[in-house]
Structure 1
Amino acid sequence: MQQTPNKNNQATILLADDDEDIRLALALLLSSQGYKTIEAANAKEVITQTNRQNPDLILLDMNFSRDTTSGQEGLEILAQLKNNDIPIILMTAWANVELAVNGLKQGASDFIEKPWNKAKLLNSINQQLSFKKIKQEHQGYQTLLSEKQSNKNQTWISQSDAMKQIEQLIEQIAPTDANILILGENGTGKSQLAKRIHQFSSRQDKPLISVNMAAIPDNLFESELFGHQKGAFTDAKKNRIGRFQLADQGTLFFDEIGSLPFNLQPKLLRVLETGEYEVLGSSQTQNTNSRLISATNAELSKLVNEGLFRQDLLYRLNTLVITLPPLRERLEDIKPLADTFIDQFCTKYHKSILSLSSDALTKLKQHTWPGNIRELSHAIERAVLLSTNEEITAQALLLDNTNSQDSGIALQPLEQAERQLIEKALSVSSGQVIEAAKRLEISRNALYRRLEKFGIKYES
């Protein structure tokens, strides 16, 4: 049966064979089916062409110049290529079951005997390329499955009145598909809340894809969210699946949404309004159906007034708003949270389970927790490592007394206190903005905005 040429198939196939006539015959056959071909006549050229051209598939002869029957040279080349994630079809005129099994064990995708059957060869090539495409499109799913399992086991503490109200709100809004904006200080558990909303939603069996918006370089924004095709730009050596496609039918979580640069906001707004986008390097419009949850510690309404955040984008994000309370406003949750962290870190560091002494609990409740739950976790981890007795004492917590509720901190305007903190962070960071942002536990972009706001000079 004559094969129908695949005019849309632009896959590149490397023909690795020391026989020029073999390479020519394969090139004519594959080009008639719409494939591009490149050639390699020896082992060295195979490795060089693979590294330079990054072909979509390799047809690899088993025997080159060393001998004509053993297949060992082909197996050695195969061993060098197995980490390239490229399907390899082995070819030899001296086929035997043992050699085929060895090749498949070392990572080959299939085995073809020469002289080949055209239909069988083309079918094998098409099948391996299809498998590769499926693998690329689902490359993030294994990670998603492990994240999903860990999400089921996450601990959610809601004993305080403030958190009980949040829990009631979750039960109401999680089953809907409405976009949700989560507000709260750094370390209050915004990402954990996003996971919990997803668990109670109608999309709980679909992926939850998280994106840290502050961590995406401007030039990679479209690639990260919408994906790109091979060759779309320099270094685009493989197809990439975007976060919107991975989150299709599931939930997409945008963390630190307030740090998104203004010039990139229209691109995000368009897909939120229409559900449509284009993969970078393709003119075909794609559609996405994902539930959006966003989070930020920034005052988005203030950023809108300052011309740093689009109001129409804010309207798309804040259909429903949940504000997580800081830890100092949920004191009833401190002990169960601390106990949970103690269990986790004792297990992690292979220590007997420790108890929390009464003076340590008092110390925890007196602390103002500027870093909230994240800071509490770090304090407990440190205490678990330092404790030599059966209980954690107040001394083992190593909490600064000047940061406690009874420390007599002078009240002052919030903006004045914010400026002082930023100046102090820059001072201890020798003027390095990135390091100062880490110490303040805010994004680099968020710190730059505050530096401009207060007119504070910094090293560029």
Structure 2
Amino acid sequence: MQSPARILVADDDADIILALELLLQQAGYQVLTASTPAQVLQFAAIKPDLVLLDMNFCSDTTSGHDGLQLLPALKQLELSVILMTAWASIDLAVQAMQQGADYFLQKPWHNSTLLQLIADRLELRRLRQRQWQQQQLAQQERSAWVAHSEVMQRLEKQLSRIAGSDANVLILGESGVGKSALAARIHQLSARHSGAFVSVNMAAIPQQLFEAELFGHEKGAFTDAKHKRTGRFALADGGTLFLDEIGCLPAELQPKLLRVLETGWFEPVGASKSQRSDARIISATNSELSSDQFRSDLLFRLNTLVIEIPPLRARPQDIPALVQQLLPALCRKHHRPQLQLSPSAWQQLQDYAWPGNVRELQHVLERAVVLAEQTELHSSDLALQPSPPQPPSDQATPLAPMGLPPFDLQWHQQQLINAALQAAEGQQAEAARLLGISRFALARRLEKS
């Protein structure tokens, strides 16, 4: 459940503070109060979601100097600020907006108008934060693209032709092979590269939230919908929407997705008006979409162009570049000195079959970085121990690598998943059958690994 937004109310009038505190608390917000400029700066350091700032903290002044003096410090913290004053003038309003105020509000206010203004500013803030997160994700995905091997060079040439169109693309490939990086690469090469690249993992969304996640929802549309939310189609307008694990889309939502692909129109949950999204759709799956679970007419819309990304074992020439990219980032993440790989470690990385592909490579390197005792990683640090899908009952369960508990559940689970994927030649549906779990459950475990 999403925590309530925190609003800082800053005013030297105790009655105004009390009135705003009661109003905002009844609307479901968490309220902080400050009556002096020093308190404003103190609370601003904890980054509230919005600041309602009075422009005068001295009863004998109407200049607005106090608020204007505080405003630069608040904007430096990237806070949304609504300025309030009982002594409004056009010059003062212009000056406040020029210095970065989000809105200029004159006292006395109308409660409904103020609440709607706050909701709009908070929604805009959430939208900007999500766009920033998506931009960061897109940047990470673009940096993860490696195409040094011959097979990937052929794929790169194919991308240069595909990216020039707005046709929908379906990416095929094993789990962890880099389908999201490929989608980001297509976006980067396309005419939409200046627009948003919005990614959503269909396997990670609870079934009851699929529609709201894709199309958004209005305030009060369902329980806990306390604020309006913008969906992924709206966020991707003018850019690219990447639907990973498209096979996990529930059957009852497939007609709505088909409609938006055909017309561009959709309705947020609880809305009475339709919205339009001009988003290019790139989807991905690691197993065949069966006709009994997935509409054939929707599939025809998704697979205008089909690209298959080869598994990592088919392009070992890419492993050095991937390692050189991943290893420094992992060292920084875990505050470790820069590590190098010994010749034996490099050889083991080249010889291993990588049933979990690039995701498994990252997992192996991250574990080695965390447990490393020296600045050079050896083959023993990588702990690559592929297990058969079903070990004979008379053999003991293999122990986890040194440094992990012998009954480390996560490690053993990952080994079984890797072995099942290897036995199933990367087909996730078959691997799930071998493990005795649903494909959806396997997709969730792979996402967490």
Shared fold (TM-score, shorter chain, > 0.5): yes
1:174 matched to which residue of 2? Answer: 163
Q: Is 1:129 matched with 2:110? A: no
Q: Which amino acid aligns with 2:23?
A: Q
User: Alignment partner for residue 360 of structure 2, among 368, 371, 375?
Assistant: 375
User: 1:53 aligns to what?
Assistant: 27
TM-aligned CA deviation for residue 177 of structure 1: 0.6
Corresponding position of 2:245: 256
Please report how far the alpha carbon of residue 143 of structure 1 lies from its aligned counterpart in structure 2 after TM superposition. 2.4
Shift of 1:271: 0.7
The alpha carbon displacement at 1:387 in A equals 4.0
Report the equivalent of 1:36. none
Is 1:327 matched with 2:312?
yes
Over residues 380-409 of structure 1, what are the superposed CA-to-partner deviations in whole Å (9 max), with x where a residue is unaligned? 2223344444532222210115479xxxx9
Displacement after TM superposition at 1:379 (Å)? 1.4
Q: 1:252 to 1:235 in 2, by over 3 A?
A: same
Checking the alignment, whether the CA contact within 8 Å between 1:224 and 1:242 is kept in structure 2 is yes
Partner of 1:422: 435
When structure 1 is superposed on structure 2, of 354-363 and 160-169 the one drifting more is 354-363
Cα distance, 1:349 vs structure 2: 4.2
Q: What CA distance in whole angstroms lies between the structure 1 residues aligned with 2:125 and 2:424?
A: 55
1:95 is the counterpart of 2:53: no
Task: Give, in angstroms, the shift of residue 273 of structure 1.
Answer: 0.8
Q: Is the partner of 1:140 in helix, strand or coil?
A: helix
2:144–2:181 Cα contact (<8 Å) kept: no
Supply the distance in 1 between the matched residues of 2:185 and 2:446 (Cα, whole angstroms). Answer: 23
The Cα of 1:438 is off from its aligned counterpart by 6.6
C-alpha distance 337-149 of structure 1, shift in aligned 2 (>3 A): closer
Relative distance call for 1:392 and 1:435 in structure 2 (3 A) is farther
The verdict on how the C-alpha distance between 1:329 and 1:310 changes in structure 2, with shifts beyond 3 A counting, is same
AA matched with 2:312:
L
Deviates most, 40-49 or 276-285: 40-49
Contact 2:55 2:68 in 1 (8 A): no
1:272 correspondence with 2:246: no
Partner SS for 2:48: helix
Letter in 1 for 2:355: P
2:235 matches 1:234: no
Q: Aligned pair in 2 of structure 1 residues 321, 143: CA closer, same or farther (>3 Å)?
A: same
CA separation in 1, counterparts of 2:294 and 2:441? 23
Measure the CA separation in 2 of the matches of 1:436 and 1:227: 25
Distance 1:381 1:280 in 2: 40
Structure 2: give runs of 5+ residues left out of the alignment.
Answer: 1-8, 94-102, 107-112, 390-418
* Higher deviation after alignment, 285-294 or 78-87: 78-87
Aligned residues: 380
3-state DSSP of counterpart to 1:294 = strand
Aligned to 1:6: none
**Cα distance change of structure 1 residues 179 and 89 upon mapping to structure 2, 3 Å threshold:** farther
Q: 5+ unaligned residues in a row in structure 1: which ranges?
A: 1-14, 20-39, 63-70, 427-432, 444-460
Is the CA contact 1:367–1:403 (under 8 Å) kept in the aligned structure 2? no
Q: Which amino acid aligns with 2:50?
A: D
Q: Could you give the per-residue CA deviations for residues 242-298 of structure 1, whole angstroms, max 9, x where no partner exists?
A: 111111100001011111111111111111110001233322221111111001112
CA shift for structure 1 position 333: 1.8
Cα deviations across residues 154-174 of structure 1 (Å, max 9, x unaligned)?
042222222122111111101
1:111 aligned to which of 64, 84, 88: 84
**For residue 144 of structure 1, what is the aligned residue in structure 2?**
134
- TM-score, normalised with respect to structure 2: 0.70
* Residue number in structure 1 paired with 2:300: 315
8 Å contact from structure 1 (residues 327, 369) kept in 2:
yes
Q: Is the 8 A contact 1:95 1:113 kept in 2?
A: no
**Is 2:167–2:305's contact at 8 Å kept on the other side of the alignment?**
yes
Shift of 1:151: 4.7
SS for the counterpart of 2:198 is strand
Within the candidate set 430, 442, 447, 1:437 is matched to 442
Looking at structure 1, the residues matched to 33 and 333 of structure 2 have their Cα atoms a distance apart, in angstroms, of: 50
Please say if residues 61 and 74 of structure 1, whose CA atoms lie closer than 8 Å, have aligned partners that are also in contact. no
1:37-73 superposed Cα distances (whole Å, 9 cap, x missing partner) = xxx9675554343122258xx9x999xxxxxxxx659
User: In structure 1, how many angstroms separate the alpha carbons of the residues matched to 2:207 and 2:432?
Assistant: 27
Q: 2:210 aligns with which of 212, 221, 227?
A: 221
Change (3 A) 1:385 1:228: closer
Q: What does 1:8-19 correspond to in 2, within 5 Å?
A: none
Q: Secondary structure at the match of 2:105?
A: helix
1:255–1:294 Cα contact (<8 Å) kept: yes
TM-score (normalizing by structure 1): 0.68
Please say if residues 244 and 252 of structure 1, whose CA atoms lie closer than 8 Å, have aligned partners that are also in contact: yes
What are the Cα deviations for residues 298-332 of structure 1, in whole angstroms up to 9, with x where unaligned?
Answer: 211xx21xx11111110111011111111111122
